[in-house]
Amino acid sequence: MTITRFVLNEQSKYPESLGDFSILLNHIVLGCKFVCSAVNKGEEQKKLDVLSNEVFIKALVSSGRTCILVSEEDDEATFVEPSGRGRYCVVFDPLDGSSNIDCGVSIGTIFGIYMVKDGHEPTLNDVLQPGKNMLAAGYCMYGSSCMGAMMMVHELVLSTGSGVNGFSLDPSLGEFILTHPEIKIPKKGKIYSVNEGNAINWDGPTAKYVEKCKFPEDGSSAKSLRYVGSMVADVHRTLLYGGIFLYPADRKSPNGKLRVLYEVFPMSFLMEQAGGQAFTGKQRALDLVPTKIHERSPIFLGSYDDVEEIKALYNAEE
Ligand code: AHG
Ligand code: MN
Ligand code: MN
Ligand code: MN
């Protein structure tokens, strides 16, 4: 089952979409391939961010199905020329984990999709929507260096709102093949994932949670720590193995580091669709209503029971 056929099947559930959605998704997949090949050509890190953004935007615009694009790399949203417009808004982080490029550790592209209401002129309010209004979200993960593009392992994980499916690039076909159908995150995990170097600045509930991971009070075994520093890689492992990923608020960054529209929302959407949870420290992440396109939020996401525990600690604080 290729991703193209998978998306066509999904789409037959929504006959009114007239094929636009699968055309858009095909162009997102193409954009991911372009980003990966740009990364492989191995220019400087700074230029690679810019280059990835350019190729991804070109792939989206050439679909003829987009109207508003929000990228981590651009201060302002891009409004597609009226003649080349469609009804979809795409929010994305073209190259996530850029600090890992030079040492060959996994990086990726994250995306989320909204739709403009029929017959409306697109405005920024079409993307300043809670994450639960997304139609689809996903990411593609690439190894950041190797013996050339043909050797690269790409994993593409996608949800169109009815579960989560994982695809792997078959280099001999150049096609993504369904390898992880119906991904469900384990209800409880054995791994926590956080930049513990920030611990000096954490708030009470986060500090207490991590302490409990290491010194459990209920006789259970301590959790293992895994932290790559590429959100795509840390979330991918969390989805498959279970556990929790945290990027909390701290005294230096009261809103955390990760951006709501193109990091927090897509990953939270996938987690919920896989049976897990995503929490901001105050509320369900997908209920957040962003007021700025580059807004940040603390985020705790992963296995249902593990997120339930951190929720209890924050709720007890109030
Ligand atoms: P980006 O490379 O798009 O700027 O994002 C980096 C993000 C994310 O991938 C990761 O989870 C986080 O930064 C790691 O941050 P720390 O280095 O502060 O742990
Ligand atoms: Mn990022
Ligand atoms: Mn980025
Ligand atoms: Mn960046």
Over residues 103-128, the pLDDT tens digits come to 888 999 999 999 998 778 899 999 99
0.90 surpassed by complex ipTM: yes
CA of 97 to the centre of ligand 3 (A): 6
Q: List, as one string, the DSSP characters of 190-239.
A: SEEE--GGGGGGB-HHHHHHHHHHHS-SSSPPPPEE---S-HHHHHHHHH
Q: What is the pTM of this model?
A: 0.96
d(CA 166, CA 239): 11
Testing ligand 1's pocket by substitution, the residue of 258, 264, 297 carrying the most ligand atoms inside 8 A of its CB is 258
Percent of the chain with pLDDT over 90: 77
| Cβ 93 under 6 angstroms from ligand 1 | yes
* Closest ligand 1 atom to 227 CA: 19
* Closest ligand 1 atom to 95 CA: 3
Testing ligand 1's pocket by substitution, the residue of 71, 92, 139, 231 carrying the most ligand atoms inside 8 A of its CB is 231
Ligand nearest to the CA of 94: 3
- What the block records as the tokens of 309 is 């525990």
Confidence of residue 151 (pLDDT cuts 50, 70, 90): very low
Q: From atom 12 of ligand 1, which residue's Cα is the shortest distance away?
A: 229
| Cβ 53 under 6 angstroms from ligand 1 | no
Q: How confident is the model over 235-249, as a mean pLDDT? A: 98
Type of residue found at 256: G
Residues 48-69: pLDDT tens digits? Answer: 889 999 999 999 999 999 999 9
| Cβ 72 under 6 angstroms from ligand 1 | yes
- What the block records as the tokens of 28 is 């997102």
| Cβ 229 under 6 angstroms from ligand 1 | yes
| Cβ 195 under 6 angstroms from ligand 1 | yes
d(CA 179, CA 162): 17
Q: From atom 15 of ligand 1, which residue's Cα is the shortest distance away?
A: 229
